[in-house]
């Protein structure tokens, strides 16, 4: 049986395995693509061979381990980033094991390379006063400020991931009572979130000022192009800095769009909502992820108790474009 070339396997992995079979998000495809670009460049340099000349047999477990060491020691990446790069490699060799029986031993050895465990950082979330202070900052007399206020209000209402919110089009929203929005999350899984009347009114006002077609994203820049997550993080940082002048506790927090998601989760727990409902609301694949909010809420209560108890001591699938340059093809994904 003739083995497939590395280029052919990578094409099939991104086009068939990731796109059609696993139905992964665009963000995941781009992350895996970037991981493989780094790995191929690293291996090419070590072997002093052009990327187009590399074969599957060049990518042994030792090569993967050397790449991971390079990432940590020379590129100074975090353990989380190191694990993400390894996940892209693991996923590819899982695919290869199905496609190339002769490479099963190689694939199994690579599959045994473990992810590194890391302590989960303390969850950052906002209380109602902090959220209100940030929501007051956008200048709603301008179109940009009205858009930013609507986006932040939408995030607080739904607990959506930032890309989920930026992808929302008018057709995904039911404006009549009971108002709701359909969000498309990880793995292209959809879920329904209820909308408060106040949120509906805010979105309707934005759409009156800046109309969008049913299939066009609601949150766009001045040129009508969809906002990017990086731009939202930048604007949010500015609003938080301004709000910190009135609510000093914000100065000690690193607030990102995902912080709003954490805040929704913690507040739902505090309101007594069952964790299985919260799991569906936020689109978590595993209940353990949702339980982090319950633990965070419990820690908040414990700290509050210490303050008053004197007896307590502190203690779409990517298209396959034929391209002889593998890196150029990866860039095209």
Of the candidates 132, 126, 195, the one whose C-alpha atom is nearest the C-alpha of residue 160 is 195
- Tokens 């990446």, residue located: 77
Biggest CA pair distance of the chain = 76
Catalytic residue of the set 186, 191, 212, 253: 186
Query: How far, in Å, CA of 54 to CA of 58, rounded?
Result: 6
* Residue 190, strand partner residues: 184
CA separation (Å) from 13 to 34, 54, 112, 117, 332?
14, 17, 20, 27, 15
246 is a catalytic site residue: no
293 is a catalytic site residue: yes
Catalytic residue of the set 161, 235, 262, 279: 161
Catalytic residue of the set 149, 261, 262, 279: 261
Please answer whether residues 199 and 178 qualify as being in contact, where contact means their C-beta atoms are separated by less than 8 angstroms: no
Residues 6+ apart with CB under 8 A from 91: 13, 17, 18, 32
My answer on whether omega of the bond before 178 falls inside 30° of 0, hence cis, is yes
Please answer whether residues 121 and 79 qualify as being in contact, where contact means their C-beta atoms are separated by less than 8 angstroms: no
Please answer whether residues 218 and 199 qualify as being in contact, where contact means their C-beta atoms are separated by less than 8 angstroms: no
| Helix or strand run (H / E) with residue 182 | strand 180-184
Please answer whether residues 37 and 14 qualify as being in contact, where contact means their C-beta atoms are separated by less than 8 angstroms: no
Catalytic residue of the set 11, 90, 279, 284: 284
CA 233 to chain centre: 13
- Tokens 């395995």, residue located: 17
Q: How many CA atoms lie within 13 A of 143 on its CB side?
A: 12
Query: How far, in Å, CA of 92 to CA of 97, rounded?
Result: 9
- Tokens 């000690």, residue located: 252
235 is a catalytic site residue: no
261 is a catalytic site residue: yes
Please answer whether residues 195 and 157 qualify as being in contact, where contact means their C-beta atoms are separated by less than 8 angstroms: yes
Catalytic positions are 161, 186, 258, 261, 284, 293
């Amino acid at each position: 049986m003739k083995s497939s070339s590395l280029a052919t396997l990578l094409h099939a992995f991104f086009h068939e395995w990731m796109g059609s079979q696993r139905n992964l998000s665009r963000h995941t495809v781009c992350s895996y693509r970037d991981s493989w670009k780094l790995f191929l460049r690293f291996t090419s340099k070590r072997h002093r061979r052009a990327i187009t000349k590399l074969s599957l047999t060049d990518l042994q477990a030792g090569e993967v381990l050397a790449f991971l060491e390079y990432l940590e020691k020379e590129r100074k990446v975090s353990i989380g980033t190191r694990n993400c790069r390894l996940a892209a490699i693991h996923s590819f060799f899982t695919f290869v094991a199905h496609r190339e029986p002769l490479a099963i031993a190689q694939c199994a050895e690579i599959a045994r390379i473990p992810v590194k465990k890391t302590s989960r950082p303390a969850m950052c979330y906002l209380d109602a006063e902090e959220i209100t202070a940030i929501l007051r900052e956008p200048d709603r007399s301008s179109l940009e400020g009205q858009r930013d206020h609507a986006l932040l209000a939408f995030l607080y209402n739904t607990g959506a991931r930032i890309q989920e919110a930026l992808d929302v089009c008018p057709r995904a929203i039911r404006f009549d009572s009971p108002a709701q929005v359909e969000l498309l999350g990880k793995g292209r899984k959809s879920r329904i979130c209820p909308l408060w009347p106040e949120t509906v009114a805010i979105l309707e006002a934005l759409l009156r000022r800046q109309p969008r077609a049913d299939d066009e994203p609601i949150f766009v820049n001045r040129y009508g192009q969809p906002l990017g997550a990086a731009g939202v993080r930048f604007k949010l940082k500015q609003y938080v800095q301004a709000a910190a002048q009135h609510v000093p506790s914000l100065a000690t927090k690193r607030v990102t769009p995902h912080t709003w998601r954490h805040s929704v989760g913690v507040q739902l727990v505090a309101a007594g909502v069952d964790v299985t409902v919260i799991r569906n609301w936020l689109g978590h694949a595993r209940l353990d992820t949702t339980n982090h909010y319950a633990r965070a809420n419990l820690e908040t209560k414990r700290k509050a108790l210490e303050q008053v108890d004197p007896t307590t001591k502190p203690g779409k699938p990517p298209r396959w474009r034929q391209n002889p340059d593998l890196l150029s093809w990866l860039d095209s994904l």
